[in-house]
Amino acid sequence: MTQPENTSALKGIKVIDASRVLGGPYAGQILADHGADVIKVEPPAGDETRLWGPPFQDDAASYFLGLNRNKRGIAIDFSKTAGRELLLSLLEDADIFLENFKIGTLEKWGIGQDEIAERFPKLIHCRVSGFGADGPYGKLPGYDAALQATTGIMSVNGDVGGRELRVGLPVVDMVTGLNATIGVLLALNERARSGKGQFVEATLYDCGFSLLHPHLPNFYLNGKVPGRSGNAHPNISPYDTYQTATRPLFLAVGNNRQFTKLCDMLDCPDLPKDPLFESNAQRVINRDALKELLEQALSNFECAGIADKLINNGVPCGAVRNVQEVVEDPHTIHREMVVDVDGHRGTGSPIKLSRTPVSYRRRPPQFAEHTDEIMQELGKDAEDFSEVLPQKK
């Protein structure tokens, strides 16, 4: 396969991605999709997400495949001195070092944050961790679901009166990856002025906590501990799922104009004039009564038809759909959100740049796939490091 041309924004930037699981690799893939040369460095046993299946393709789980596109792969045993020497060689001409080692591990090896900063003054060292290096929870390990619980996300997710629920996707890990990427790009921008690298930190705890909007601002103002509200919004109404004649419809009505338009189109034009519903504040207070009336009106409509009519007339809404329906939607295809690279199907980048667009150049690497290529670039013979270079599986 001829590799597509790299014309993306980060062409020329080199990233050593020694992170595993989700947050770090997700950040690495964003950088890779936008042109950076990202070398994925795995431990001898491989990134554990290679085993997080089924489904599998070429002995790698879909979980791994979804986070490691556009990267080259090598595996190094850092527990040995020769392996750590190779890491330092990789960092010699790197711009970014992305890692999520257990805090204290690099220090134990003699290549901690301070040593790296002194040896590579232009390097941007980005660490993803559960809680950071200090504080009451410092150095503790973290996984997405546990952090959803610890940061309060589960406490506001679920039906009224029901059990706390994990959000059905790794939202803490993913937003940590996004914030790590933002931090790296901020540091790159600053380096262009100062010529100096810096340490960038993104923790699951901080990022999970930061997601609690509007629950935190509400709590700061009224002191009330928020609870679960199902699909309803604590500050806006109607903002919830509503049953139609066929399937649920989500209405996201944020102002009086949209509410009036909604009621006109549902043949209940008098609702906005009712003192119980004349303002958003009143609609929030009387949300249960409003939901009952709206569902009575919606029972006369098929979901897809009324959803199309409403959104095309300025009322934000959406039919509740499954993953297959979204993947097959013509708009998903038009937005290039499903992409195929050398037999691998993946999710496209949501970041669209007009002049330096994303480029999909490589499928996710097989284990240690590019060892010889990378070692040759370092000017080293792979055979001389056979004890720390696990071979392709």
Q: Is 173 assigned a catalytic role?
A: yes
Residue 273: DSSP 8-state: G
Order of all β-strands in the sheet with 248-252: 239-243, 248-252, 317-319
**Paired residues of 40 in beta bridges:** 17, 73
The answer to whether residues 22 and 67 touch, using CB atoms and an 8 Å cutoff, is yes
**Paired residues of 318 in beta bridges:** 250
Catalytic residue from among 17, 37, 95, 173: 173
Provide the sign of the torsion angle of the four alpha carbons 46, 49, 54, 60, taken in this order.
negative
- Phi, then psi, of 184 in degrees rounded to 5: -65, -45
The answer to whether residues 115 and 123 touch, using CB atoms and an 8 Å cutoff, is no
- Over its C-alpha atoms, the chain yields an Rg (Å, rounded) of 25
The answer to whether residues 142 and 113 touch, using CB atoms and an 8 Å cutoff, is no
H or E segment and range at residue 197: none
Closest CA to 116 of 144, 96, 102: 96
The token pair that represents 245 in the structure block = 């004649």
The amino acid at residue 299 is S
The answer to whether residues 79 and 378 touch, using CB atoms and an 8 Å cutoff, is no
Q: What is d(CA 80, CA 302) in angstroms, rounded to the nearest whole number?
A: 65
Closest CA to 290 of 278, 277, 273: 277
The answer to whether residues 269 and 262 touch, using CB atoms and an 8 Å cutoff, is no
H or E segment and range at residue 96: strand 96-99
Question: Which residues form the catalytic set?
Answer: 173
